[in-house]
Amino acid sequence: MIRDSERMLVRSSAKHARRRLQRLLIVGALIILMVSSVGRLWNVWQVQRELGRLESRIESARLVNEQLRHQVESLQGLDYVEKVARDELGLVRPGEITYMTIRNQEPRR
Protein backbone atom coordinates (compact mmCIF):
# COMPACT_ATOMS: atom_id res chain seq x y z
CA MET A 1 0.00 0.00 0.00
CA ILE A 2 2.75 2.42 0.77
CA ARG A 3 4.27 1.69 -2.55
CA ASP A 4 0.97 2.33 -4.35
CA SER A 5 0.52 5.67 -2.61
CA GLU A 6 4.12 6.59 -3.36
CA ARG A 7 3.57 5.69 -6.99
CA MET A 8 0.39 7.80 -7.08
CA LEU A 9 2.27 10.70 -5.50
CA VAL A 10 5.10 10.38 -8.03
CA ARG A 11 2.59 10.16 -10.89
CA SER A 12 0.69 13.19 -9.53
CA SER A 13 3.84 15.26 -9.22
CA ALA A 14 4.95 14.19 -12.72
CA LYS A 15 1.58 15.26 -14.12
CA HIS A 16 1.88 18.53 -12.25
CA ALA A 17 5.40 19.06 -13.60
CA ARG A 18 4.21 18.25 -17.15
CA ARG A 19 1.34 20.75 -16.82
CA ARG A 20 3.72 23.43 -15.54
CA LEU A 21 6.05 22.76 -18.46
CA GLN A 22 3.14 22.97 -20.93
CA ARG A 23 1.98 26.25 -19.39
CA LEU A 24 5.51 27.60 -19.47
CA LEU A 25 5.89 26.65 -23.14
CA ILE A 26 2.55 28.26 -24.00
CA VAL A 27 3.44 31.45 -22.14
CA GLY A 28 6.86 31.50 -23.83
CA ALA A 29 5.28 31.05 -27.26
CA LEU A 30 2.81 33.86 -26.53
CA ILE A 31 5.61 36.18 -25.45
CA ILE A 32 7.55 35.43 -28.65
CA LEU A 33 4.42 36.10 -30.74
CA MET A 34 3.78 39.38 -28.91
CA VAL A 35 7.36 40.58 -29.37
CA SER A 36 7.35 39.76 -33.07
CA SER A 37 3.93 41.42 -33.44
CA VAL A 38 5.18 44.61 -31.80
CA GLY A 39 8.07 44.75 -34.26
CA ARG A 40 5.71 44.29 -37.18
CA LEU A 41 3.31 46.91 -35.84
CA TRP A 42 6.23 49.33 -35.49
CA ASN A 43 7.17 48.70 -39.13
CA VAL A 44 3.57 49.21 -40.26
CA TRP A 45 3.38 52.48 -38.31
CA GLN A 46 6.63 53.73 -39.90
CA VAL A 47 5.43 52.81 -43.39
CA GLN A 48 2.11 54.58 -42.82
CA ARG A 49 3.92 57.67 -41.56
CA GLU A 50 6.17 57.70 -44.63
CA LEU A 51 3.13 57.16 -46.85
CA GLY A 52 1.47 60.21 -45.28
CA ARG A 53 4.57 62.31 -45.92
CA LEU A 54 4.78 61.16 -49.53
CA GLU A 55 1.08 61.82 -50.13
CA SER A 56 1.55 65.33 -48.76
CA ARG A 57 4.50 65.94 -51.09
CA ILE A 58 2.50 64.59 -54.03
CA GLU A 59 -0.39 66.96 -53.25
CA SER A 60 2.02 69.91 -53.01
CA ALA A 61 3.58 68.95 -56.34
CA ARG A 62 0.11 68.71 -57.91
CA LEU A 63 -0.73 72.23 -56.72
CA VAL A 64 2.53 73.63 -58.08
CA ASN A 65 1.96 71.77 -61.34
CA GLU A 66 -1.54 73.23 -61.66
CA GLN A 67 -0.23 76.76 -61.00
CA LEU A 68 2.49 76.31 -63.60
CA ARG A 69 -0.03 74.96 -66.10
CA HIS A 70 -2.18 78.08 -65.65
CA GLN A 71 0.88 80.30 -65.96
CA VAL A 72 1.93 78.57 -69.20
CA GLU A 73 -1.58 78.97 -70.60
CA SER A 74 -1.61 82.68 -69.78
CA LEU A 75 1.87 83.20 -71.24
CA GLN A 76 0.83 81.57 -74.48
CA GLY A 77 -2.15 83.90 -74.93
CA LEU A 78 -1.97 86.60 -77.62
CA ASP A 79 -2.69 89.36 -75.12
CA TYR A 80 0.45 88.52 -73.18
CA VAL A 81 2.54 88.24 -76.32
CA GLU A 82 1.33 91.68 -77.44
CA LYS A 83 2.04 93.19 -74.01
CA VAL A 84 5.62 91.87 -74.03
CA ALA A 85 6.13 93.03 -77.62
CA ARG A 86 4.95 96.55 -76.77
CA ASP A 87 6.43 97.02 -73.28
CA GLU A 88 9.72 95.19 -73.50
CA LEU A 89 10.54 95.25 -77.20
CA GLY A 90 9.00 98.63 -78.10
CA LEU A 91 7.07 97.21 -81.06
CA VAL A 92 3.93 98.83 -82.48
CA ARG A 93 1.16 97.68 -84.76
CA PRO A 94 1.28 98.70 -88.38
CA GLY A 95 -0.18 102.18 -88.81
CA GLU A 96 0.25 103.18 -85.16
CA ILE A 97 2.18 106.26 -84.26
CA THR A 98 4.31 106.23 -81.17
CA TYR A 99 5.09 109.24 -79.07
CA MET A 100 8.09 109.58 -76.84
CA THR A 101 8.19 112.11 -74.09
CA ILE A 102 11.50 113.73 -73.33
CA ARG A 103 12.08 115.03 -69.87
CA ASN A 104 13.30 118.51 -69.45
CA GLN A 105 16.99 118.57 -68.99
CA GLU A 106 18.73 121.34 -67.17
CA PRO A 107 21.11 123.32 -69.34
CA ARG A 108 24.73 122.42 -68.94
CA ARG A 109 27.04 124.99 -67.46
**pLDDT, tens only, 94-106:** 888 887 788 777 7
Per-run averaged pLDDT (10 residues), the chain, 109 residues = 66 84 95 89 94 97 96 85 86 84 73
DSSP secondary structure, 33-65, as one string: HHHHHHHHHHHHHHHHHHHHHHHHHHHHHHHHH
Compute the radius of gyration of the chain from its Cα atoms.
44
Q: Is the pTM of this model over 0.85?
A: no
